[in-house]
Amino acid sequence: MHFFFTNGINDYTENECGSLSAEYLYFDEFVFVYIDLSVSSIVPFLIMFVCNILLIRVLRNAQRQRPSLMHEMFVQRANRFSVKMTKMLVVGTVYFIIATAPLCIYFIVDSYLLPGYEESDNVSAIARMDLIWTVCYLVALSNCCVNFYMYTAINDRFYKEFIAMLRCKPRLRRASVYTTRMSNSTRRRSETSQGIELSLSEEEP
């Protein structure tokens, strides 16, 4: 947001879009990069880390209480789901810091090294910095889509629903609910008709 106020075109920028003064340039190059590292990577990671620890504790407590509340077959299935959910939370949190931190750290290193490379006209070093920036940028963008692959790999229900959607088939959960409702409705009609027949037979002389 600060770029709207600290960047623009004037005599200091020599008709190019950049920092409007030397003070703004120092802020952009040596202050904001640390703010960006904190806001874009470290603080979200800490929030995710704490929240995931709380979620994992809830899953572990529920796992210990299941044997007294559920049948053994359902307990094993629920425990497997808890393990998969725990793995997904841990992998998602670790990958977030791995994906976002390198780009933020690159901007910090770039602020100190790039001016020297430009002054000495070190073309190869500048090319290496550009290559590192490209790799870090792509890794950071991958964080936006990695959750989809984690859900597909870990959550069987999500995978089945996704495949059913691609094949233009009705949702599995909705179909199962509809089938259950139909079977329950059929069972009730059968019981009702049997009750009516029994009552009619009792009324006959």
Distance set, CA 52 to CA 41, 91, 114, 126 (Å): 16, 11, 38, 40
| In-domain check, residue 8 | no
Query: Residues 113, 128: one domain?
Result: yes
Query: Mean pLDDT in each 10-residue stretch from start to end of the chain (205 residues)?
Result: 68 74 83 93 95 88 76 73 82 93 95 92 93 95 85 75 80 48 50 45 45
Residue listed under structure tokens 């409702």: 181
> Is this prediction's pTM over 0.85?
no
CA nearest 92: which of 82, 84, 103, 102?
Answer: 84
Q: Do residues 107 and 204 share a domain? A: no
Q: 105-111 long-range contacts, Cβ below 8 Å, gap at least 24?
A: 105/37, 106/132, 106/133, 106/136, 107/33, 107/36, 107/37, 108/33, 108/34, 108/37, 111/29, 111/30, 111/33
Q: What is the pLDDT at residue 101?
A: 96
Is residue 133 in some structural domain?
A: yes
d(CA 131, CA 110): 12
Residue 56 identity = I
151 and 62 housed in the same domain: yes
Neighbours of 140 (CB within 10 A): 19
Residues 178 and 108 grouped into a single domain? no
- Distance (Å, rounded) from C-alpha 99 to C-alpha 97? 5
37 domain-assigned: yes
Same domain (yes/no): 90, 136: yes
Q: Domain for residue 106, yes or no?
A: yes
Task: Note the pLDDT of residue 4.
Answer: 63
13 in any annotated domain: no
How many structural domains is the chain composed of? Answer: 2
At residue 106, what is the residue type? Answer: Y
175 lies in the same domain as 123? no
Give the pLDDT of residue 151. 76
Four-residue CA torsion sign, 10, 13, 19, 24: negative
Does one domain contain both 184 and 109? no
The answer to whether residue 14 is domain-embedded is no
In a domain, 55, yes or no: yes
- Structural domain of 188: 170-205
